[in-house]
Chain A
Amino acid sequence: MMATLIALALIFTELSLMAFGGGYAVLPEIQRRVVEVQQWVTPAEFSALFALAQAAPGPNMMIVPLIGWHVAGLPGLLVSSLAKFLPSSLITCLAVSVWERFRDRPWRAAVQAGLLPVTTGLVASSAVVITLASVTGVWLAVLTGVTAAISILTRAHPVAVLALGAVVGLAVSFV
């Protein structure tokens, strides 16, 4: 148990400091650590946990407390949440205090522009990792294709798209 909690703390502290561009950017690394390295959950379970986190209200990274809870109960939830949210928040606190000094520096624009394709590559990787873990049959492939098209072509609310997935799944289970 202690070893698990320490592993959770180390993994999510590291990810907290690398999450440039928000939560989705580190999703492939969370999957690699939790599924492949530690083997705490299967790829299918990981996809289900991700979907659960997406179906809940609030910020993107709700999969972090969920994984902590799944792996080690309430202590796991507390450790993973603190490890994921505390380091980046401390940096934010520090940065707010010195922000004004850097406002007009040209290197800031270069760093922001340079991080954009990095974040995009990470989000594309997230999409592929989650798709490979989720799509295990023809109807699921069609569903992923349709929901991707809906999210690209319309302004449908993400929760409505998730609800569509759940309803289609329920319908298929009766076929």
Chain B
Amino acid sequence: MTSIADTGERDLSPPTARQIFTGFLGIGLVGFGGVLPLARRMLVEDKRWLNPQEFSDLLGLCQFLPGGNVINISVAVGMKFRGWRGALAGILGLTAVPTAFVILLGVLYDRYSGDPHVQHVFAGLAAAAAGLLIGMAWKMLKPLLGKPQALLVVGLLFAAVAIFRLPLILVMLVLAPFSVLLSWRSPR
């Protein structure tokens, strides 16, 4: 499978906007939790619209830009093959079903949020969601533990945003350039 993909061989014709829409629709439909591994499998292994190197390059670009990584990938893939119509098809395919799903859950929450059992279920759900976020923060922090400069930035940002609740735009305007300057000047 990968050997075929590694040679860069793929379907001769680029995907149509409709195919881009349905491709990302499939990801949005089943992508509970992490969507990124599913996106890679669809793009590189199943449909072979991108070879592994192209996918890595595109992901690097999307991580570098503002916005969600997978959302940016859906836009970038659509743009690459079919221009702005393809980009629109990609992002709509990815977000249509999850939006409908989340609204359904929201309706249920509004209707039954007065019920004590339901309140407990949502309290438990929210506590578990918090636990997942703590886990994710730890996984991101771990590779930075040996790097004092990076930890300084993490600490300053945490203090500004979580403790002092300063507006994010101010914090980003000051700390993002500061952090980039630190990484520019430090030998890697």
Contacts and interface: CB of A to CB of B under 8 A. Distances in A.
B130 A59 contact: no
A92 B67 contact: yes
Nearest to B30: A57
B161 A92 contact: no
Contact of A66 (B79, B95, B103, B123): B103
A120 to B, nearest CB: 4
B76 interface: yes
Interface string A45-78: 0011111111111111110011001100000010
Given A69-B103, A89-B67, A111-B180, A54 B132 contact: yes
A165 B28 CA distance: 23
A134 B130 contact: yes
Best-surrounded residue of A20, A21, A61, A144 (most CB of chain B within 10 A): A144
Given A36-B165, A96-B79, A48 B66 contact: no
B4 interface: no
Contacts of B84: 93
Interface in B116-139: 116-117, 119-139
Contacts of A164: 128
A166 B109 CA distance: 13
A5 interface: no
B157 A121 contact: yes
Nearest to A173: B120
Contacts of B68: 19, 22-23, 59-61, 88
A108 B64 contact: yes
B32 A131 contact: no
B131 A118 contact: no
A148 B132 CA distance: 5
29 contacts: A20-B176, A56-B101, A57-B30, A57-B31, A58-B35, A59-B95, A65-B99, A88-B72, A91-B66, A93-B76, A95-B65, A110-B180, A113-B183, A118-B153, A121-B157, A121-B161, A124-B141, A124-B162, A125-B161, A125-B162, A127-B134, A144-B128, A147-B131, A148-B138, A151-B136, A166-B121, A166-B125, A168-B124, A169-B122
Contact of B162 (A17, A61, A62, A128): A128
B106 interface: yes
Contacts of B134: 127, 131, 144, 148, 151
A145 B136 CA distance: 13
B94 interface: yes
A14 B28 CA distance: 25
Contact of B131 (A20, A22, A103, A145): A145
- Of all A-B residue pairs in the complex, the 10 with the closest CB atoms, nearest first, are A169-B124, A58-B98, A165-B128, A147-B131, A88-B67, A121-B157, A151-B135, A114-B180, A173-B120, A158-B33
Given A89-B87, A114-B182, A162-B128, A81 B98 contact: no
Contact of B126 (A26, A51, A70, A170): A51
B61 A99 contact: yes
Contacts of A119: 140
